[in-house]
């Protein structure tokens, strides 16, 4: 397989845009290139042109492609200290001024983080007072999030994270095992709306008190990060919180002055200006 060049990536992003109306132009080049390489190998395509032809002609292939091109790696209670900070500081602060509140979980992948926040809220006794909207660009992964069914192998790691999070119970209380899979308790996501939403073209659709978007913008270039942060800013009430991934930062973005850092370690920010 020949090295993929910038001109190839351009060809691919153009066909995705013209045939499927998704814009990957501002995805970080190196990881996008790696994912394209992976798709070509996985589907045993002979060249970039073969990929372009397939993308042009085959709608079902595009759905699979979209799933492959986006990185879906996730865990429950990943970075346990982050979830502790949410439980012990951020959410109590939101509750000072609100009986009920709302969370936008952007880039929720297969839902492990959605179940994490739901468990956290349940243990705080406030799950029924919180509306959660969980979104992702990839409808295949959203289907898995809605199902809430995970491999037992992954649950081992999730269980370890939960212990470090210092949950009140045992993670096993929140699922049952069936056919080698963990089936999450449905009541956890009763107030969760899972919906398809593309951060690249999406408009603000509501205002939230807390926006979680962890390990998503790491795949975007600076231009797209700026654009998406404007979208989050417009989707947040004044004094709402925004949490991003441990390896991400907001300080370089154009509208950094509209936020303050609440916790630099856990990458939690607060909107202070409209």
Ligand X SMILES: C[S@@+](CC[C@H](N)C(=O)[O-])C[C@H]1O[C@@H](n2cnc3c(N)ncnc32)[C@H](O)[C@@H]1O
Contact with ligand X (CB under 6 A): which of 78, 122, 267, 270? 78
Strand partners, 236: 208
Alpha carbons 221 and 47: distance in angstroms, whole number: 26
Give whole-number Cα distances, 98 to 13, 85, 129, 240, 259, in Å. Answer: 44, 19, 10, 11, 20
The residue range among 34-42, 72-80, 122-130, 266-274 that interacts with ligand X, by the rule CB under 6 A, is 72-80
Q: Shortest Cβ distance from residue 157 to ligand X (Å)? A: 12
Asked whether position 71 contacts ligand X by CB under 6 A, the answer is yes
Per the structure block, which two tokens stand in for 46?
């002979």
Mask for 203-242, x = binds ligand X (CB under 6 A): -----------xxx--------------------------
Of 119-138, binders to ligand X (CB under 6 A) are 136-138
Alpha carbons 175 and 186: distance in angstroms, whole number: 9
The residue range among 45-53, 90-98, 195-203, 262-270 that interacts with ligand X, by the rule CB under 6 A, is 195-203
Residue 78 or 258 with smaller CB distance to ligand X:
78
H or E element that contains 262? strand 259-263
User: First and final CA of the chain: distance in angstroms?
Assistant: 50
Binding site residues, ligand X, CB under 6 A: 70-74, 78, 107, 109, 113, 136-138, 141, 198-200, 214-216, 245
């Amino acid at each position: 397989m020949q090295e993929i060049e910038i001109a190839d990536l351009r060809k691919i992003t153009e066909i995705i845009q013209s045939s499927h109306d998704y814009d990957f132009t501002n995805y970080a080049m190196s990881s996008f290139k790696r994912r394209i390489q992976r798709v070509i190998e996985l589907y045993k395509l002979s060249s970039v042109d073969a990929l372009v032809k397939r993308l042009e002609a085959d709608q079902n292939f595009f759905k699979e492609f979209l799933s492959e091109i986006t990185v879906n790696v996730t865990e429950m209670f990943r970075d346990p200290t982050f979830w502790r900070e949410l439980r012990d500081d951020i959410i109590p602060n939101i509750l000072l001024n609100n009986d009920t509140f709302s969370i936008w979980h952007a880039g929720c992948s297969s839902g492990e983080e959605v179940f994490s926040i739901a468990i956290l809220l349940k243990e705080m006794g406030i799950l029924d007072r919180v509306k959660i909207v969980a979104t992702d660009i990839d409808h295949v992964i959203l289907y898995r999030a809605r199902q809430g069914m995970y491999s037992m192998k992954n649950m081992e790691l999730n269980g370890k994270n939960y212990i470090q999070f210092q949950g009140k119970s045992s993670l096993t209380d929140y699922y049952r095992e069936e056919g080698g899979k963990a089936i999450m308790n449905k009541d956890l996501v009763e107030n969760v709306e899972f919906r398809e939403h593309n951060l690249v073209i999406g408009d603000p659709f509501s205002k939230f008190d807390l926006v979680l978007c962890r390990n998503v913008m790491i795949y975007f270039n600076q231009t797209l990060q700026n654009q998406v942060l404007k979208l989050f800013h417009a989707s947040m009430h004044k004094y709402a919180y925004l949490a991003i991934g441990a390896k991400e930062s907001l300080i370089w973005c154009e509208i950094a002055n509209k936020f303050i850092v609440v916790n630099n370690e856990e990458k939690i920010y607060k909107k202070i200006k409209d």
